[in-house]
Structure 1
Amino acid sequence: MSETFSISLNGITDLPRGKLAAIVTSLEMRAAPPLRPDPPGTGGLSLEQIGAADTARYLSIYRVLGERWMWFSRLVKPAAYSEAILADAAVLCFVVRLDGRDVGLLELDFRVAGEGELAFFGLEESVLGKGAGRWLMNRALELAWARPISRFWVHTCTLDHQSAPEFYQRSGFEAFKRSIEVVDDPRLAGHLPRAAAPHHPVIDG
């Protein structure tokens, strides 16, 4: 059974031990923005589409990319949950390849008619700061707006990289909603290592 407690809207709320809280910012665009040029030096990057048969590979790169930012939503579910999503024709999932390695993940969700969600967007630390983020966003925008959608949206939170909201806004998204998410700390249940996301220290339940 889910726990309930009151959150102060004008002050500080102490969370129960073992819980994490994040401020979620949702952003959207209602039309395709002008595409920015791919940065120099990104010609070696490529996308490889994956599906249900690649679930183990998907979860592996998901964990590698997301551990430092507390990605856990797919890790707290059985593998069959991710397999079903990857099998859905309305979901497009790609790994980013460079020099024969998986270095990134792009997942686009079109299961709601008329809109697309940038569900997961991540890159290995080794390629950050070299234009790979802009390159991958260009691919995401091309793929999303090739569909008959009128809205493309994404959400990020304070567990993520601090520059994520600014990057999304530079890409043409506009913030439209802020939310509070409270969850069980996935590190306490072993879904992520205790050393994951050290900028959010573990407080044992």
Structure 2
Amino acid sequence: MPNIPVTTWSLEQASPADLLPADAPDGDVRIVRAEVPSPEFSRFLYASVGGDVRWTDRLGWTYAQWQEYLDRPGVETWVVYDRGTPAGYMEFVPQDDGVVEIVQFGLIPAFRGRRLGGHLLAYGTARAWDLADRWPGLSQTKRVWLHTCDLDGEHAMDNYRRRGFQLFDTKVEEEPVRPLTGPWPGAHPA
């Protein structure tokens, strides 16, 4: 399998004051925390959002691996719904010393371009900043960070910057070309 160079950018916010708001989109749009850990739902979101941007790392996880991951204290999944339909999600994980990593963020392809991404990112990042309020025993959040790469959606970096994330690291590494999986094998939006 051939390799391609992939540029990965790491971005951060060092204070809740760094977070810049986004306008709420029109219509019946809601953002809800998935409070019951559900491997089925999480895998659906992962495959549906990441299928056209080569998210493959978790596709081989067993049910038990998903459950173990989701059961960790402070792991949260926030889902944006458009008229009752899941349109995308944001998942974050607490790390040591008050650091929270946004590990997954994105929209299902059919929902992109509707101003849902900025709204979800702003709302979800605010929830990363107040994570300790919902999880007694976790340190107060001192830093929120994420990474994105040039394989992600074309508007990802602009969205992160518009929400107040600042670049702190850039890496270029060779990675194998991974197939586009879509939300199920063989499915890929044209």
TM class by shorter-chain length? 0.7 to 0.9
Distance apart, 1:117 and its partner CA: 0.8
**d(CA) in 2 for partners of 1:36 and 1:94?**
17
1:131 aligns with 2:123: no
- Work out which of the residue numbers 154, 161, 165 in structure 1 matches 2:157: 165
The alignment partner of 1:113 has SS state of helix
1:109–1:116 Cα contact (<8 Å) kept: yes
* C-alpha distance 84-51 of structure 1, shift in aligned 2 (>3 A): farther
- Work out which of the residue numbers 80, 87, 107 in structure 1 matches 2:71: 87
Letter in 2 for 1:98: D
* C-alpha distance 188-71 of structure 1, shift in aligned 2 (>3 A): closer
Distance apart, 1:112 and its partner CA: 2.7
2:25–2:119 Cα contact (<8 Å) kept: no
**d(CA) in 1 for partners of 2:107 and 2:82?**
11
Give the aligned partner of residue 46 of structure 1.
31
1:107–1:118 Cα contact (<8 Å) kept: yes
Query: What is the TM-score normalised by the length of structure 1?
Result: 0.75
2:4–2:174 Cα contact (<8 Å) kept: yes
Distance apart, 1:21 and its partner CA: 3.6
**d(CA) in 2 for partners of 1:181 and 1:194?**
27
Give the aligned partner of residue 87 of structure 2.
103
Larger radius of gyration: 1
Deviates more, 1:115-124 or 1:75-84: 75-84
The alignment partner of 2:23 has SS state of coil
**d(CA) in 2 for partners of 1:77 and 1:185?**
20
Q: How many residues align?
A: 180
* C-alpha distance 68-50 of structure 1, shift in aligned 2 (>3 A): farther
**d(CA) in 1 for partners of 2:83 and 2:187?**
29
**d(CA) in 2 for partners of 1:168 and 1:37?**
11
Q: Deviations over 1:150-173 (max 9, x none)?
A: 111110001111221121111101
1:94–1:106 Cα contact (<8 Å) kept: yes
The alignment partner of 1:57 has SS state of helix
**d(CA) in 1 for partners of 2:21 and 2:129?**
14
Letter in 1 for 2:6: A
Letter in 2 for 1:128: R
1:27 aligns with 2:14: no
Letter in 1 for 2:112: L
Give the aligned partner of residue 134 of structure 2.
none
Which 5+ residue runs of structure 2 have no aligned equivalent?
132-139
The CA RMSD over aligned residues, in Å, is 2.7
Which 5+ residue runs of structure 1 have no aligned equivalent?
1-16, 199-205
1:186–1:192 Cα contact (<8 Å) kept: no
1:70–1:196 Cα contact (<8 Å) kept: no
1:48–1:97 Cα contact (<8 Å) kept: no
**d(CA) in 2 for partners of 1:197 and 1:183?**
23
